[in-house]
Structure 1
């Protein structure tokens, strides 16, 4: 049916989980260049069509399962070759047996460099070995936004990600971490190699052994005149706490206060001259505890000065 139709205005196509199960029939390889010459975004659970280079495609969402997992690095290399204008790459990786993959694929010797990729989204399900392969096989020098999602208790391979960022020599300004089982020390190490970050979102995992949103992490984010600050360009911070642990309200408040410079003040001018950005937005949400509005009165005062602050718990928004 699709092969007989034309979509001259179509910009986005989602054919995930699209299957034909009638007497062994399969989804035909469609010539999307002819069907949709203006197509910009493609989401699929099958290997993407490769009849010709897709110069117009900018974003691809790909679900990598057992049928597409072997070998994964050549698969992604093929996709990047076939979509030379691709800017955004989104991967969802379901569980599979990595031991079934060829050893040469799991330990690649050559790193491919792709300068068009500016946004990378990766969602995995307890499979750090796949991430190790990905991070060791590719370089994205133009990367500025990274979204990493996980739904497991497996330790997230922070060292491999740090090597990936360092080897890519990219300037990441937006980093989102959702559900990763990562320690506060590893998170600090990651931020050390991303001094350009201006937006940071951390959504921890309630079933992991620990949360990275600790007192030590918040102390590391605090501006101090005696040392170079972590994430000096940070302007927006969003923390979603789902892991039930002792949360240090006082340290969090002190950290936010240290990064707020009242617009027009001498302190603001001095910090700007040293390359330190003023934080502009702070969001803190708890899914497991109430928030004491009185404790967070100092942030309410900063909100009155111009800082956008949201603090919410099981008892609703308190700031």
Structure 2
């Protein structure tokens, strides 16, 4: 049985990913890091020229959203609020002027940065640190922009997981809907589902439209590789929350550890994970490799019978 398509996504009144026949299709969120130390070197764009060129390339390759971050997610030198704003806000203004149809996202956990980014034209606030700053979602609600609700297991910003554990799952919400027996590994699933449901409900209460609330299990953040793999298996349960699901899988450590590969060699594993998540209802894919990810999503859409082949000629002549 083909799982149902994911929930529709609307940002500032624009529906994202509506395909032929009215089917909601997955979309790519490209990455531009205004940093010099992000874990994947080709995504570092500390200088304005290369960063702007990367934005134009992402749009040309089919990205619907551009996610701009000013601070490395992992450990590293301190970056203050003023410096983070300086890294991302003028760039967002320039991209908005040059690529008006490209939706813009700011990757930050700070409400001050989010507020400045929204004034610069950001359509979405990607809060990868699970509401560490509780005012951030209030900024989204007041401005009418989208917000990403994430799960970090209580981890603080820019910290790495250390011997993270989640109590065995109680089944029910996830296990039984697949017709499977109770799975003790579902402790992480239940924690993620509860956290994301609560965060999404608070976002709506703060004024964010339900169709503008995304939920992200946030692979690697507050999790080991076993946890991240299990959450990928449970994508359908995440989609069952009723909000568009964002998957940030691109070249992450759980892919690297599964295959014992460095970031530069993780694209095939990333695309395999992407295809599985798309099949089970994820809607937005944060990706370093826009063209490859777009092709993987188009292939999944064709297999799901949601889009025709682009050039079906074999055996037809």
Shared fold (TM-score greater than 0.5)? no
Q: Which has the higher contact order (CA 8 A, sep 6+)?
A: 2
Higher strand fraction: Structure 1 or Structure 2? 1
Structure 1 or 2, whichever has the larger Rg, is 1
TM-score (norm 2): 0.32
